């Protein structure tokens, strides 16, 4: 659980691990076409200034590793010595970058670069320096917020990390609203059960309602008091919808900002909010059971759903460009999120 010193450090470790996973995925996506070109995996270290580079690439390479260095330095702040955490965090961030650049030697769609390694390491250093400067104040504030807002439940830090990852799910403009857990793309399954056109609205509503109910109850579970939950849960859900709106507007077109608000999604929001309003007031164990069942039901439905017409339109008009790897990342998080969250609910249930 979150406690004054241990909790913020543990939360930082979860965030560092999660961000490292995002970096690895973004660096090696699409994980296909591996081949041996006969080039040494460290040959990129001997090259001069890369022939092709842009300011966007330089800034992006620094920016992506800055949070990694920040979270690592916070996670390692309990080490003895004033600068031990900073130095080790910088070294770890640079090591991650070196491993990624080395592995890119065998990916034909990627070009390893000493400039990328330098920018990544510099970003890790900046993040670690930032953590060194503001870390103590952050820990004090997290501890204060924990006492006021976060319930003293097992693995609360993991729950907070999972909710942070959930905010990436609505960033994929081509999936159904809150449509997490669709395994068909991973296993190459394209078929869907036959449904009448009207049934699609019901299925889409069920996907939205079940996932909204599950996520809302997880937020409720992490809130120390019911009065706090009735404030925090709506804010979090509104944030999710805002993310979906901004993603559709920025990645597809401004005219499609609210295209996710289909009749099925609208019905699902109404039903999910109504059910959530009742379920939030229940005792802890029934809430936990309902959250787990809703999570599983939403996952089953999303794997039965027929193709979404809006998804096809979004993909046809979306110029992914620099966001290609980012979209693959958000899709992966959306696929895996229910399967990462269900064990968290089971772990919490065992300690209740």
Tell me the pLDDT tens digit for each residue of 297-306.
Answer: 999 998 888 7
* Residue 11 · residue 142 · CB < 8 Å: yes
- The number of beta carbons lying within 10 Å of the beta carbon of residue 344 is 18
Please provide the DSSP assignment of 242-300 as one string. Answer: HHHHHHHHHHT-GGGTTTT--HHHHHHHHHHHHHHHHHTTS-HHHHHHHHHHHHHHHHH
For residue 4, give every residue at least 6 positions away whose Cβ sits within 8 Å of its Cβ, in sequence order, or none: 143, 146
- Last-in-domain residue among 105, 130, 149: 149
**DSSP letter assigned to residue 308:** P
Q: Are residues 203 and 325 in the same domain?
A: yes
Who has greater pLDDT, 260 or 187? Answer: 260
How much is the pLDDT for 271? 95
229-243, 270-284, 298-312: range with lowest mean pLDDT: 298-312
Q: Strand, helix or coil at 181? A: coil
Q: How far is CA 147 from the centre of its chain?
A: 26
pLDDT digits (tens, 9 = 90+) for 188-225: 665 555 555 667 888 899 999 999 999 999 999 988 78
Q: Quickly list H helices, 150-196.
A: 156-166
Give the CA angle between residues 128, 132, 133 to the nearest 5°.
Answer: 120
pTM of the model: 0.71
Q: Is the pLDDT of residue 150 over 90?
A: no
- Dihedral of alpha carbons 216, 222, 226, 231, sign: negative
Q: Are residues 27 and 160 in the same domain?
A: no
Please, which residues bridge with residue 223 across strands? 150
- Last-in-domain residue among 112, 132, 149: 149
> Which of 252, 103, 115 is closest to 173 using CA atoms?
252
Q: Are residues 143 and 201 in the same domain?
A: no
Domain presence at residue 1: no
Q: Are residues 222 and 342 in the same domain?
A: yes
User: Tokens representing 225?
Assistant: 């008091």
Instruction: For 47, list phi and psi in degrees, rounded to 5.
Output: -75, 160
Cα gap 274→170, rounded to integer Å: 21
User: Tokens representing 169?
Assistant: 């799910």
Residue 217: HSE in the Cβ half-sphere, 13 Å Cα cutoff: 31
Q: Are residues 294 and 205 in the same domain?
A: yes
pLDDT digits (tens, 9 = 90+) for 18-52: 888 888 877 887 666 778 777 777 777 776 666 66
- Looking at the structure of the chain, the number of domains it has is 2
Cα gap 36→282, rounded to integer Å: 58
Burial of 92 (0-12, 13-18, 19+ CB in 10 A): buried
Q: Are residues 201 and 320 in the same domain?
A: yes
Domain assignment of residue 75, given as a range: 6-149
Q: Are residues 135 and 284 in the same domain?
A: no
Cα gap 280→277, rounded to integer Å: 6
- Last-in-domain residue among 123, 149, 175: 149
Q: Are residues 252 and 287 in the same domain?
A: yes
């Amino acid at each position: 659980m979150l406690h004054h010193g241990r909790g913020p450090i543990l939360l930082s470790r979860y965030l560092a691990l999660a961000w490292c996973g995002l970096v690895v995925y973004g660096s090696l996506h699409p994980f296909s076409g591996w081949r041996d070109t006969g080039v040494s995996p460290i040959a990129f270290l001997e090259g001069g200034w890369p022939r092709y580079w842009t300011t966007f690439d330089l800034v992006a390479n620094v920016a992506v590793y800055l949070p990694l260095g920040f979270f690592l330095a916070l996670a390692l702040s309990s080490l003895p010595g004033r600068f031990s955490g900073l130095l080790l965090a910088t070294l770890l961030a640079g090591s991650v970058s070196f491993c990624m650049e080395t592995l890119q030697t065998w990916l034909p769609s990627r070009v390893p670069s000493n400039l990328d390694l330098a920018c990544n390491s510099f970003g890790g250093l900046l993040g670690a320096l930032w953590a060194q400067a503001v870390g103590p104040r952050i820990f004090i504030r997290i501890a204060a917020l924990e006492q006021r807002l976060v319930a003293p439940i097992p693995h609360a830090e993991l729950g907070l990390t999972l909710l942070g990852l959930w905010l990436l799910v609505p960033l994929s403009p081509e999936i159904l609203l809150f449509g997490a857990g669709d395994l068909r793309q991973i296993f190459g399954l394209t078929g869907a059960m036959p449904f009448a056109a009207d049934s699609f609205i019901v299925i889409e509503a069920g996907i939205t309602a079940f996932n909204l109910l599950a996520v809302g109850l997880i937020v409720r579970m992490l809130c120390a008091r019911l009065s706090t939950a009735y404030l925090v849960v709506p804010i979090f859900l509104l944030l999710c919808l805002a993310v979906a709106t901004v993603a559709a507007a920025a990645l597809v077109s401004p005219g499609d900002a609210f295209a996710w608000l289909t009749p099925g999604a609208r019905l699902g929001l109404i039903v999910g909010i109504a059910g959530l309003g009742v379920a939030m007031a229940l005792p802890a164990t029934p809430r936990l059971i309902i959250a787990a069942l809703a999570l599983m039901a939403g996952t089953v439905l999303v794997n039965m759903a027929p193709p979404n017409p809006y998804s096809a339109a979004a993909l046809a008009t979306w110029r992914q460009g620099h966001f290609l790897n980012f979209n693959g990342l958000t899709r992966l998080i959306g696929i895996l999120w229910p399967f990462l969250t269900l064990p968290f609910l089971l772990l919490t249930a065992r300690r209740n």
